[in-house]
Structure 1
């Protein structure tokens, strides 16, 4: 059974299909949570909350093809709510708490992303960190593809200016 069939069954109320979908998208959801929350425990808690919220609202999904994008959006919204509650910045520029080394370029990127507003950060994250297509982002946001393209162009131009101002990387 492919992902689309599982999505259709889950939307129709099949609990086993829902669990299989959550297992299928678990890694992407955890990566998303960790990117925002920077903490493994918080990321696992976010996955649990996202699973609960998705289970309660899966019947509202209109297009099964966008289920993964819908799940990631739930995760991002939850993480942003947590960050607001904890009064932490989305990208605070600290070294990675997982024990891996963080180099100067990663810190520069985190700083540049932190300079963007919330919608711009989400757009960059969906497009470049989760590799979601522009048409899928447009469907998720309920706006035309051209609007997403122009927002992306504007956001990339802002990031370019940020890096040019730092004397670092002249391309993004």
Structure 2
């Protein structure tokens, strides 16, 4: 892959990169830092990419590693308000319980749910991104779905 092709891939993956970073970091400044570092690292390590077919997965994996690096260096407690994406009043009214339930999932389950439902990755791609087996990804999705269902049913009963 040439640098021009990588640049085009980065531009095409802009939204995905932001969603993945936001899922892990929840702070726009940290997200921007992680994305910027991932892009720099992708350009400098382009020779390490073995197959162009996996370029997008490789780029997202670099981003996830950069997010984890930021999380390790800046461990802190984040309030629920800064942890949920900003949206219009109508959307937050309709889906606030769902966003809250997703935000309360453990980090690994939350990332798996976001990659699967928001970004549209399939189980095999998620397994490659997170260095897991496909069955581990399926188990995470099943547990996260069950937990979300229980939390939403409990809120509905109130």
Q: Which structure shows the higher helix fraction?
A: 2
Q: Deviations over 1:107-166 (max 9, x none)?
A: 322321232211111111110111101111122333332222122111111111111121
Q: CA RMSD in A?
A: 3.0
Q: Could you tell me how far 1:38 is from its partner in structure 2?
A: 5.1
Higher RCO (Cα < 8 Å, 6 or more apart): 2
In the alignment, what sits opposite 1:155? 144
In the alignment, what sits opposite 2:133? 144
Distance in 1 between the 2:35 and 2:153 partners? Answer: 37
Q: Deviations over 1:28-84 (max 9, x none)?
A: 223444555353x55444332220122233333344323223322333443455456
In the alignment, what sits opposite 1:25? 13
TM-score, normalised with respect to structure 2: 0.74
In the alignment, what sits opposite 1:122? 111
Contact 1:93 1:110 in 2 (8 A): no
Match of 1:66 among 45, 51, 54: 54
Match of 2:35 among 42, 47, 52: 47
In the alignment, what sits opposite 1:131? 120
Q: Unaligned stretches of 5+ in structure 2?
A: none
Q: Could you tell me how far 1:88 is from its partner in structure 2?
A: 4.3
Distance in 2 between the 1:118 and 1:97 partners? Answer: 16
TM-score, normalised with respect to structure 1: 0.69
